[in-house]
A and B are shown apart, each in its own frame.
Chain A
Amino acid sequence: MMEMLFYLAALVALLATVLALTRANAAHALIYLIVSLLAVAVLFFLMGAPFAAALEIVIYAGAIMVLFVFVIMMLNVGEEGVAREREWLGGRNWIVPGILSALLLLELLLALRHAPAATSGTAVAPKAIGLTLFGPYVLAVEIASMLLLSGLVGAYHLGRRFIVRRERKR
């Protein structure tokens, strides 16, 4: 039963991702991408990682994708954007990325032959994840937080109002 659900969610994730890649309309592509992320959250849940599943929904589907939609709304490209995208999606542009992805897929399939069954993992409680993150892996957490901080400082710098400052000097 669990295995069936796992493969169903995996199928949904794959189909949604392919559709997200091939849509010309940016809004439609984003909706498929959100569906794909939700399907991945279901996969995490079935593999015994409910905490990762919840974070996938809260952060990826719930926050990052909202910002993507936000950008699309700000640009508001409309019909001409769809036409341009359709041109980019046509024909020869698929050849090189297609070959590269096919190679990766082949490698993945070969590697998976030796991996254990999909849903054999045991469930991990949120507390255990917290203890591991801030225990043996605390260095990784600190490095990630520094990276985010530098991103924040950079965004603040770019977002300053330079014109207002110049007026004050006069």
Chain B
Amino acid sequence: MNQLKEKFGIKDSLAYIFFKNPVLVLGLVIGQLAAGDTTLQNGAALSVTYFLVTVPVLVFASVFGKKLPQWLRVVCYALVSTVMLVPAYFICGSFSATIFDSLGIYPVLLAVSTVPIVYSSKIAENSEPLSALMNGIGISLGFALTAIILGAAREFFGSGGLWGFKFADAVYPAVRLPFWGFILLGFMAAIVNLISEAVKKSEETKNSEEGNA
């Protein structure tokens, strides 16, 4: 039974990578991606920060959440995520020297985004540490996938390079602006919808065939 449970937990948290993608399907953390995720480096930095911020907070919430008084919980979650910004700061700083100038305030804002603050106090508190850990990993992987694809696309079309190396002229410089971030995320979300609908349909037909058999 335990093995089965674990399997299901993994399956659920894997769903966060694509079918329940935190950005494209649930509509969270859109702002930071739209405004800050303009290059591949920025995408990677945001993903690392998000991973380091989300997972510890969710685990912390599931272990200590119920033992704290109501008014202190959110404060604690915010402080834990803020402390986790420190390692994220040094890891991102190793990517490139100018990364904080190009990212601005956006990686810091991940510490108070919806998942560390709201999801932890509403859902992770009531789940077991292991499943909270798995959920956290799934959510941050889903975020990382979106951030890296979006960042690479915007760097390629917006400044004609990847990871800081320029090899062509910019095709469409405006793609680095926040409003193009919103629009591109919208189109990515539409593609995810299209694929998940197709998968659902194929599963349904499979099920009905099995039922008929």
Verify that A and B bind, or say they do not. no
Using CB atoms and an 8 Å cutoff, list the residues of chain A in contact with chain B.
Answer: none
Using CB atoms and an 8 Å cutoff, list the residues of chain B in contact with chain A.
Answer: none
